[in-house]
Amino acid sequence: MDKYGLIGFPLGHSFSISYFNQKFQDEGIDAIYENYEIPTIDALYEVLGSNPNLRGLNVTIPYKEKVMPFLDNVSPEARAIGAVNVIRVTHEGNDIKLKGYNSDVIGFTKSIEPMLEKKWHKKALILGTGGASKAIDYGLRNLGLETVFVSRYQREGTIQYKSITPEIVKEYNVIVNCTPVGMYPKTEVCPDLPYEAMDQHTILYDLIYNPDETLFMKRGAQYGAQTKNGLEMLLLQAFASWEFWHEK
């Protein structure tokens, strides 16, 4: 039986495990998807060694960047982004070959593109600076938008939350939350932004999908902003993972 799985730490609720095991059951695929909660990225070798039937992995926090030196090959897109969230595992004799891809960018761009209007949406704020935010940045720039990263800390090439004025929100009216702020169970918090500056041309996209509507989305919607959570992106990302694992 073929195996697929997810590496990360910690792994609580996982969309992937329920999605793929349901897919295997529904489509009569002789395979299983498991979570591999590894405390350091070096433990990847142990996962590979003890699961000879492993054909593919998804990668989540905090290993999307740390896994790259372990790979034999990285797709041009994932290399440009600087983060990998899908690994194809192939066996050549006694050798295990690992190829890395990024399906986050595919899921995100397909999900947000229908919301964008060229006339109104030219600049975006990306909240957070982790592995997912790099894919979001790559995707938005591919769609023709200028981007700026927002961080809590003073970092080169970023602005801080305290510097975001109503004028900036009017200009950078596509805002993507790539942080865990507002995720279950801490649903009563949201990124610190001047929400009152938002209007019907503002797009608030939250990578979080639990809860369905975060406080970030609710507060923007009060002022007419269009909102979307990360569930569709996850589904599209899962479709792309399967394609990468079975690439000819």
**Active-site positions?**
64
CA distances 193 to 21, 125, 190, 219, 241, Å, are 39, 11, 9, 10, 34
- Comparing CA positions, the residue from 243, 242, 216 lying closest to residue 230 is 216
Amino acid occupying residue 194: P
Alpha-carbon distance of 128 to 134, in angstroms, equals 9
* Neighbouring residues of 17: CB distance < 8 A, sequence distance ≥ 6: 6, 33, 34, 35
CA distances 35 to 57, 69, 90, 98, 147, Å, are 9, 22, 19, 18, 34
CA distances 190 to 101, 137, 183, 195, Å, are 31, 21, 9, 11
Helix (H, G, I), strand (E, B) or coil at 119: coil
Provide the 10 A C-beta neighbour count for residue 155.
Answer: 12
Q: Which residues of 180-203 are buried (b: 16+ CB within 10 A; e: fewer)?
A: ebbbeeeeeebbebebebbeeebb
Alpha-carbon distance of 206 to 124, in angstroms, equals 13
**Contact by Cβ (8 Å): 202, 176:** no
